[in-house]
Amino acid sequence: MKSFHPPVRTLMGPGPSDVNPRILEALSRPTIGHLDPAFIEMMDEIKQLLQYAFKTENELTMPVSAPGSAGMETVFVNLIERGDKVIICQNGVFGGRMKENVERCGAQAIVVEDPWGSTIDIDKVERALTENPDAKAIAFVHAETSTGTRSDVEVLCGLAAKYDCLSIVDAVTSLGGIELEVDAWGIDAIYSGTQKCLSCVPGLSPVSFSERAVRSIRERESKVQSWFLDLNLVMGYWGSDAKRSYHHTAPVNSLYALHESLLILQEEGLQNAWDRHALNHEALVAGLEALGLKFVVDKEYRLPQLNAVSFPASIDDAAVRTALLNDYNLEIGSGLGALAGSVWRIGLMGFASNKSNVLLCISALGNVLAAQGLQADVSKAVAAALTVYAA
Protein backbone atom coordinates (compact mmCIF):
# COMPACT_ATOMS: atom_id res chain seq x y z
CA MET A 1 0.00 0.00 0.00
CA LYS A 2 0.99 3.61 -0.61
CA SER A 3 -0.21 7.00 0.55
CA PHE A 4 -3.59 7.85 -0.91
CA HIS A 5 -3.58 10.67 -3.46
CA PRO A 6 -7.08 11.32 -4.79
CA PRO A 7 -7.67 12.46 -8.36
CA VAL A 8 -8.50 16.12 -8.85
CA ARG A 9 -12.25 16.33 -9.53
CA THR A 10 -14.72 19.11 -10.18
CA LEU A 11 -17.55 18.34 -7.78
CA MET A 12 -20.94 19.34 -9.20
CA GLY A 13 -23.07 16.73 -7.55
CA PRO A 14 -25.35 17.03 -4.50
CA GLY A 15 -22.37 17.23 -2.15
CA PRO A 16 -19.69 17.43 -1.09
CA SER A 17 -18.82 20.53 -3.05
CA ASP A 18 -15.39 21.75 -4.12
CA VAL A 19 -13.41 22.98 -1.12
CA ASN A 20 -11.73 26.38 -1.31
CA PRO A 21 -7.90 26.03 -1.15
CA ARG A 22 -7.91 28.49 1.77
CA ILE A 23 -9.99 25.98 3.72
CA LEU A 24 -7.69 23.08 2.84
CA GLU A 25 -4.74 25.14 4.06
CA ALA A 26 -6.57 25.89 7.32
CA LEU A 27 -7.19 22.16 7.76
CA SER A 28 -3.44 21.50 7.66
CA ARG A 29 -2.51 23.89 10.51
CA PRO A 30 -0.96 22.48 13.71
CA THR A 31 -3.36 20.60 15.95
CA ILE A 32 -3.78 21.98 19.46
CA GLY A 33 -5.83 20.75 22.40
CA HIS A 34 -9.58 21.17 22.28
CA LEU A 35 -9.47 22.93 25.68
CA ASP A 36 -6.50 25.13 24.77
CA PRO A 37 -7.33 28.83 25.47
CA ALA A 38 -6.47 29.71 21.86
CA PHE A 39 -8.88 27.04 20.59
CA ILE A 40 -11.63 28.23 22.96
CA GLU A 41 -11.21 31.71 21.53
CA MET A 42 -11.65 30.34 18.02
CA MET A 43 -14.77 28.43 19.14
CA ASP A 44 -16.31 31.71 20.24
CA GLU A 45 -15.56 33.19 16.81
CA ILE A 46 -17.15 30.18 15.09
CA LYS A 47 -20.32 30.77 17.10
CA GLN A 48 -20.39 34.43 16.05
CA LEU A 49 -19.73 33.56 12.41
CA LEU A 50 -22.48 30.93 12.44
CA GLN A 51 -24.86 33.46 13.94
CA TYR A 52 -24.00 35.71 10.98
CA ALA A 53 -24.58 32.90 8.47
CA PHE A 54 -27.89 31.87 10.05
CA LYS A 55 -28.90 35.53 10.66
CA THR A 56 -29.65 34.86 14.30
CA GLU A 57 -28.76 36.00 17.78
CA ASN A 58 -29.51 32.58 19.26
CA GLU A 59 -27.04 31.84 22.05
CA LEU A 60 -27.23 28.12 21.34
CA THR A 61 -25.61 28.19 17.91
CA MET A 62 -22.79 25.72 17.34
CA PRO A 63 -21.41 22.98 15.08
CA VAL A 64 -22.20 19.39 16.03
CA SER A 65 -19.07 17.23 15.75
CA ALA A 66 -20.54 14.99 13.05
CA PRO A 67 -22.19 15.33 9.58
CA GLY A 68 -25.56 16.93 8.80
CA SER A 69 -27.44 13.72 9.57
CA ALA A 70 -26.19 14.00 13.14
CA GLY A 71 -27.34 17.61 13.23
CA MET A 72 -30.79 16.37 12.26
CA GLU A 73 -30.70 13.74 14.99
CA THR A 74 -29.45 16.31 17.51
CA VAL A 75 -32.53 18.44 16.91
CA PHE A 76 -35.02 15.60 17.14
CA VAL A 77 -33.62 13.69 20.11
CA ASN A 78 -33.38 16.89 22.16
CA LEU A 79 -36.78 18.37 21.32
CA ILE A 80 -38.98 15.30 20.85
CA GLU A 81 -39.98 12.84 23.58
CA ARG A 82 -41.90 9.58 23.59
CA GLY A 83 -45.60 10.21 22.97
CA ASP A 84 -45.13 13.59 21.28
CA LYS A 85 -46.85 14.28 17.99
CA VAL A 86 -44.93 15.92 15.12
CA ILE A 87 -46.20 17.14 11.73
CA ILE A 88 -43.68 16.02 9.08
CA CYS A 89 -43.74 17.61 5.63
CA GLN A 90 -42.36 15.20 3.04
CA ASN A 91 -41.72 16.04 -0.62
CA GLY A 92 -38.47 14.12 -1.01
CA VAL A 93 -35.96 11.81 0.64
CA PHE A 94 -34.98 14.02 3.55
CA GLY A 95 -38.50 14.64 4.81
CA GLY A 96 -38.61 10.86 5.10
CA ARG A 97 -35.51 10.89 7.27
CA MET A 98 -37.20 13.37 9.58
CA LYS A 99 -40.06 10.89 9.94
CA GLU A 100 -37.56 8.15 10.83
CA ASN A 101 -36.06 10.31 13.55
CA VAL A 102 -39.45 11.15 15.05
CA GLU A 103 -40.47 7.50 15.19
CA ARG A 104 -37.15 6.44 16.72
CA CYS A 105 -37.80 8.97 19.49
CA GLY A 106 -41.01 7.05 20.26
CA ALA A 107 -43.14 9.90 18.96
CA GLN A 108 -45.95 9.92 16.40
CA ALA A 109 -45.25 11.31 12.94
CA ILE A 110 -48.19 12.90 11.11
CA VAL A 111 -46.96 12.97 7.52
CA VAL A 112 -48.12 15.59 5.02
CA GLU A 113 -46.97 14.34 1.62
CA ASP A 114 -46.50 16.26 -1.62
CA PRO A 115 -45.23 15.00 -4.98
CA TRP A 116 -41.47 14.90 -5.43
CA GLY A 117 -40.37 18.03 -7.25
CA SER A 118 -43.21 20.18 -5.88
CA THR A 119 -43.04 22.59 -2.97
CA ILE A 120 -44.82 21.95 0.34
CA ASP A 121 -48.55 22.64 0.11
CA ILE A 122 -49.27 25.23 2.82
CA ASP A 123 -53.02 24.50 2.93
CA LYS A 124 -52.42 20.78 3.54
CA VAL A 125 -50.05 21.60 6.39
CA GLU A 126 -52.57 23.91 8.03
CA ARG A 127 -55.26 21.23 7.78
CA ALA A 128 -52.92 18.79 9.54
CA LEU A 129 -52.28 21.32 12.29
CA THR A 130 -56.00 21.95 12.68
CA GLU A 131 -56.69 18.21 12.93
CA ASN A 132 -53.82 17.71 15.41
CA PRO A 133 -54.02 20.61 17.90
CA ASP A 134 -51.77 18.70 20.31
CA ALA A 135 -48.82 18.58 17.88
CA LYS A 136 -45.57 19.67 19.52
CA ALA A 137 -43.66 20.57 16.37
CA ILE A 138 -43.75 20.90 12.61
CA ALA A 139 -40.68 19.76 10.66
CA PHE A 140 -39.79 20.41 7.04
CA VAL A 141 -36.90 20.74 4.58
CA HIS A 142 -35.99 24.19 3.30
CA ALA A 143 -33.95 22.97 0.33
CA GLU A 144 -34.80 19.36 -0.59
CA THR A 145 -31.53 17.91 -1.89
CA SER A 146 -33.19 14.94 -3.57
CA THR A 147 -35.35 17.10 -5.86
CA GLY A 148 -33.89 20.61 -5.98
CA THR A 149 -37.04 22.14 -4.48
CA ARG A 150 -37.32 25.14 -2.18
CA SER A 151 -40.15 25.49 0.32
CA ASP A 152 -41.46 28.65 2.01
CA VAL A 153 -39.89 28.58 5.46
CA GLU A 154 -41.27 31.95 6.53
CA VAL A 155 -44.89 30.94 5.90
CA LEU A 156 -44.45 27.48 7.44
CA CYS A 157 -42.86 28.96 10.57
CA GLY A 158 -45.75 31.41 10.75
CA LEU A 159 -48.12 28.44 10.82
CA ALA A 160 -46.07 26.84 13.58
CA ALA A 161 -46.35 29.99 15.67
CA LYS A 162 -50.08 30.28 14.96
CA TYR A 163 -50.69 26.75 16.26
CA ASP A 164 -48.19 27.00 19.13
CA CYS A 165 -45.77 24.46 17.65
CA LEU A 166 -42.00 24.40 17.50
CA SER A 167 -40.60 24.76 13.97
CA ILE A 168 -37.79 22.41 12.91
CA VAL A 169 -35.96 23.23 9.66
CA ASP A 170 -33.51 21.21 7.55
CA ALA A 171 -31.13 23.75 5.98
CA VAL A 172 -28.39 21.31 4.96
CA THR A 173 -28.36 22.51 1.34
CA SER A 174 -29.61 26.07 1.86
CA LEU A 175 -27.18 27.67 4.35
CA GLY A 176 -25.00 30.10 2.41
CA GLY A 177 -26.74 29.42 -0.91
CA ILE A 178 -30.15 31.07 -0.68
CA GLU A 179 -31.90 33.51 1.63
CA LEU A 180 -32.22 32.13 5.16
CA GLU A 181 -33.30 34.26 8.13
CA VAL A 182 -33.56 32.31 11.37
CA ASP A 183 -34.71 35.12 13.65
CA ALA A 184 -36.85 37.07 11.17
CA TRP A 185 -38.70 33.92 10.11
CA GLY A 186 -39.14 32.59 13.64
CA ILE A 187 -37.27 29.31 13.23
CA ASP A 188 -37.01 27.40 16.53
CA ALA A 189 -34.48 24.73 15.56
CA ILE A 190 -32.36 24.42 12.46
CA TYR A 191 -29.52 22.20 11.26
CA SER A 192 -27.19 22.29 8.27
CA GLY A 193 -23.99 20.73 6.93
CA THR A 194 -20.55 22.06 6.13
CA GLN A 195 -20.02 20.24 2.81
CA LYS A 196 -22.63 22.03 0.71
CA CYS A 197 -22.77 25.81 0.17
CA LEU A 198 -20.19 26.51 2.89
CA SER A 199 -17.68 24.52 0.75
CA CYS A 200 -16.02 23.16 3.87
CA VAL A 201 -14.92 19.57 4.40
CA PRO A 202 -17.68 17.11 5.35
CA GLY A 203 -18.11 16.09 8.97
CA LEU A 204 -19.67 19.00 10.87
CA SER A 205 -23.28 20.11 11.29
CA PRO A 206 -24.08 23.71 12.29
CA VAL A 207 -27.22 23.97 14.43
CA SER A 208 -29.11 26.79 16.12
CA PHE A 209 -31.92 26.81 18.70
CA SER A 210 -34.26 29.62 19.76
CA GLU A 211 -34.76 30.48 23.44
CA ARG A 212 -38.12 28.71 23.22
CA ALA A 213 -36.47 25.55 21.93
CA VAL A 214 -33.78 25.71 24.64
CA ARG A 215 -36.51 25.94 27.31
CA SER A 216 -38.13 22.86 25.81
CA ILE A 217 -34.82 20.99 26.03
CA ARG A 218 -34.19 22.03 29.64
CA GLU A 219 -37.75 21.13 30.70
CA ARG A 220 -37.79 17.62 29.22
CA GLU A 221 -39.45 14.96 31.33
CA SER A 222 -37.08 12.24 30.14
CA LYS A 223 -33.37 11.99 29.41
CA VAL A 224 -32.23 12.61 25.86
CA GLN A 225 -31.82 9.14 24.36
CA SER A 226 -28.36 9.96 22.96
CA TRP A 227 -25.59 10.78 25.43
CA PHE A 228 -23.30 12.21 22.74
CA LEU A 229 -25.97 14.50 21.26
CA ASP A 230 -27.55 15.59 24.57
CA LEU A 231 -27.38 19.37 24.41
CA ASN A 232 -27.81 19.69 28.16
CA LEU A 233 -24.32 18.20 28.29
CA VAL A 234 -22.85 19.69 25.10
CA MET A 235 -23.84 23.22 26.18
CA GLY A 236 -21.25 22.90 28.92
CA TYR A 237 -18.57 22.78 26.21
CA TRP A 238 -20.04 25.15 23.61
CA GLY A 239 -21.67 27.49 26.14
CA SER A 240 -20.66 31.05 26.94
CA ASP A 241 -19.06 30.35 30.33
CA ALA A 242 -15.41 31.22 30.63
CA LYS A 243 -14.65 27.73 31.93
CA ARG A 244 -15.61 25.01 29.43
CA SER A 245 -16.41 21.53 30.71
CA TYR A 246 -15.00 18.56 28.81
CA HIS A 247 -17.63 16.66 26.83
CA HIS A 248 -15.85 15.13 23.84
CA THR A 249 -12.67 15.68 21.87
CA ALA A 250 -13.70 18.18 19.25
CA PRO A 251 -12.50 17.67 15.65
CA VAL A 252 -9.93 20.41 16.02
CA ASN A 253 -8.64 20.70 12.45
CA SER A 254 -12.09 20.39 10.92
CA LEU A 255 -13.16 23.32 13.08
CA TYR A 256 -10.20 25.33 11.74
CA ALA A 257 -11.63 24.61 8.30
CA LEU A 258 -15.15 25.67 9.30
CA HIS A 259 -13.81 28.90 10.81
CA GLU A 260 -12.04 29.69 7.52
CA SER A 261 -15.10 28.85 5.40
CA LEU A 262 -17.29 31.13 7.51
CA LEU A 263 -14.73 33.92 7.25
CA ILE A 264 -14.85 33.54 3.45
CA LEU A 265 -18.65 33.78 3.54
CA GLN A 266 -18.51 36.88 5.73
CA GLU A 267 -15.94 38.50 3.43
CA GLU A 268 -18.15 37.91 0.39
CA GLY A 269 -21.33 38.92 2.23
CA LEU A 270 -24.50 36.84 2.46
CA GLN A 271 -26.43 38.77 -0.18
CA ASN A 272 -23.50 38.59 -2.61
CA ALA A 273 -23.23 34.83 -2.04
CA TRP A 274 -26.96 34.37 -2.67
CA ASP A 275 -26.75 36.53 -5.82
CA ARG A 276 -23.75 34.56 -7.12
CA HIS A 277 -25.58 31.26 -6.73
CA ALA A 278 -28.62 32.71 -8.51
CA LEU A 279 -26.59 34.06 -11.47
CA ASN A 280 -24.69 30.82 -12.06
CA HIS A 281 -27.96 28.89 -11.85
CA GLU A 282 -29.56 31.07 -14.54
CA ALA A 283 -26.57 30.54 -16.82
CA LEU A 284 -26.69 26.78 -16.25
CA VAL A 285 -30.43 26.72 -16.99
CA ALA A 286 -29.92 28.60 -20.25
CA GLY A 287 -27.19 26.24 -21.36
CA LEU A 288 -28.88 22.98 -20.43
CA GLU A 289 -32.20 24.02 -21.92
CA ALA A 290 -30.34 24.86 -25.14
CA LEU A 291 -29.12 21.24 -25.10
CA GLY A 292 -32.77 20.14 -24.99
CA LEU A 293 -32.82 19.14 -21.31
CA LYS A 294 -35.65 20.01 -18.94
CA PHE A 295 -35.77 20.93 -15.26
CA VAL A 296 -37.93 18.96 -12.84
CA VAL A 297 -38.98 21.83 -10.55
CA ASP A 298 -41.10 24.83 -11.52
CA LYS A 299 -39.00 27.97 -11.85
CA GLU A 300 -40.56 29.63 -8.80
CA TYR A 301 -39.39 26.87 -6.47
CA ARG A 302 -36.07 25.79 -8.02
CA LEU A 303 -32.93 25.79 -5.94
CA PRO A 304 -30.06 27.63 -7.64
CA GLN A 305 -27.53 25.46 -5.82
CA LEU A 306 -29.05 22.04 -6.61
CA ASN A 307 -30.54 21.44 -10.06
CA ALA A 308 -32.68 18.40 -10.85
CA VAL A 309 -32.48 17.85 -14.61
CA SER A 310 -34.48 15.21 -16.45
CA PHE A 311 -33.16 13.43 -19.55
CA PRO A 312 -34.68 11.34 -22.37
CA ALA A 313 -35.36 7.64 -21.69
CA SER A 314 -32.94 6.76 -24.51
CA ILE A 315 -30.01 8.13 -22.50
CA ASP A 316 -27.92 5.74 -20.40
CA ASP A 317 -27.74 7.52 -17.04
CA ALA A 318 -24.78 5.61 -15.57
CA ALA A 319 -22.81 5.75 -18.82
CA VAL A 320 -23.14 9.54 -18.97
CA ARG A 321 -22.00 10.05 -15.40
CA THR A 322 -19.13 7.60 -15.86
CA ALA A 323 -17.96 9.38 -19.03
CA LEU A 324 -18.09 12.76 -17.29
CA LEU A 325 -15.99 11.39 -14.44
CA ASN A 326 -13.45 9.53 -16.60
CA ASP A 327 -13.11 11.99 -19.46
CA TYR A 328 -13.66 15.34 -17.73
CA ASN A 329 -13.04 14.62 -14.02
CA LEU A 330 -16.52 16.06 -13.49
CA GLU A 331 -18.92 14.60 -10.93
CA ILE A 332 -22.68 15.06 -11.11
CA GLY A 333 -25.23 13.17 -9.04
CA SER A 334 -27.86 10.58 -9.89
CA GLY A 335 -31.50 10.74 -8.83
CA LEU A 336 -32.71 9.42 -5.49
CA GLY A 337 -35.85 7.53 -4.52
CA ALA A 338 -38.78 8.24 -6.82
CA LEU A 339 -36.49 10.15 -9.20
CA ALA A 340 -33.77 7.50 -9.46
CA GLY A 341 -32.83 6.74 -13.06
CA SER A 342 -34.73 9.70 -14.51
CA VAL A 343 -32.81 12.80 -13.34
CA TRP A 344 -29.36 14.12 -12.70
CA ARG A 345 -28.69 16.32 -9.72
CA ILE A 346 -26.22 19.05 -10.65
CA GLY A 347 -24.80 21.09 -7.79
CA LEU A 348 -23.63 24.69 -7.93
CA MET A 349 -22.71 25.02 -4.29
CA GLY A 350 -20.34 27.38 -2.56
CA PHE A 351 -16.86 27.51 -4.11
CA ALA A 352 -18.12 25.28 -6.97
CA SER A 353 -20.70 27.88 -7.99
CA ASN A 354 -18.68 29.76 -10.58
CA LYS A 355 -18.68 30.59 -14.28
CA SER A 356 -15.90 28.14 -15.20
CA ASN A 357 -17.77 25.21 -13.69
CA VAL A 358 -21.01 26.18 -15.39
CA LEU A 359 -19.35 26.31 -18.81
CA LEU A 360 -17.45 23.06 -18.16
CA CYS A 361 -20.65 21.25 -17.18
CA ILE A 362 -22.59 22.47 -20.21
CA SER A 363 -19.87 21.63 -22.74
CA ALA A 364 -18.87 18.29 -21.19
CA LEU A 365 -22.44 17.10 -20.77
CA GLY A 366 -23.29 18.24 -24.28
CA ASN A 367 -20.37 16.31 -25.75
CA VAL A 368 -21.24 13.13 -23.84
CA LEU A 369 -24.90 13.35 -24.81
CA ALA A 370 -23.96 13.89 -28.46
CA ALA A 371 -21.84 10.74 -28.28
CA GLN A 372 -25.00 8.88 -27.18
CA GLY A 373 -26.89 10.13 -30.21
CA LEU A 374 -28.73 13.13 -28.77
CA GLN A 375 -28.96 16.13 -31.07
CA ALA A 376 -26.99 18.52 -28.84
CA ASP A 377 -25.54 21.79 -30.16
CA VAL A 378 -22.79 22.44 -27.63
CA SER A 379 -21.70 25.76 -29.14
CA LYS A 380 -25.26 27.09 -28.99
CA ALA A 381 -25.63 25.93 -25.37
CA VAL A 382 -22.40 27.58 -24.24
CA ALA A 383 -23.40 30.78 -26.05
CA ALA A 384 -26.76 30.76 -24.25
CA ALA A 385 -24.99 30.62 -20.89
CA LEU A 386 -22.54 33.36 -21.85
CA THR A 387 -25.47 35.59 -22.82
CA VAL A 388 -26.71 35.35 -19.23
CA TYR A 389 -23.33 36.41 -17.90
CA ALA A 390 -23.14 39.31 -20.38
CA ALA A 391 -26.54 40.71 -19.42
| Digit-coded pLDDT (tens) for 320-375 | 999 999 999 999 999 999 899 999 999 999 999 999 999 999 999 999 999 999 99
Counted domains in the chain: 2
- From the list 18, 28, 62, the residue with the least C-alpha distance to 42 is 62
Does 200 share its domain with 62? yes
Enclosing domain of residue 333? 270-390
The domain spanning residue 121 has which CATH number? 3.40.640.10
- From the list 263, 272, 274, 262, the residue with the least C-alpha distance to 179 is 274
155 vs 86: CA distance, rounded Å = 18
Does 305 share its domain with 254? no
Q: Which of 267, 289, 311 is the last residue of a domain?
A: 267
DSSP at 30: P
Q: Is residue 222 part of a domain?
A: yes
238 vs 216: CA distance, rounded Å = 18
Does 151 share its domain with 275? no
Across the range 374-389, mean pLDDT stands at 97
Does 326 share its domain with 244? no
**Percent of the chain predicted with pLDDT > 70:** 99
Q: Is residue 16 part of a domain?
A: no
Does 129 share its domain with 178? yes
The number of angstroms, rounded, from the C-alpha of 86 to the middle of its chain's C-alpha atoms is 22
Does 136 share its domain with 105? yes
Question: Cα 145–150–155 angle (5° rounding)?
Answer: 135
288 vs 363: CA distance, rounded Å = 9
| Digit-coded pLDDT (tens) for 221-269 | 999 999 999 999 998 888 766 577 889 999 999 999 999 999 999 999 9
Does 284 share its domain with 249? no
Kindly give, in sequence order, each residue whose CB lies less than 8 Å from that of residue 389, ignoring residues fewer than 6 positions away: 279, 283, 355
The domain spanning residue 363 has which CATH number? 3.90.1150.10
Across the range 43-59, mean pLDDT stands at 97
Does 324 share its domain with 340? yes
Q: Which of 244, 267, 290 is the last residue of a domain?
A: 267
Q: Which of 267, 298, 314 is the last residue of a domain?
A: 267
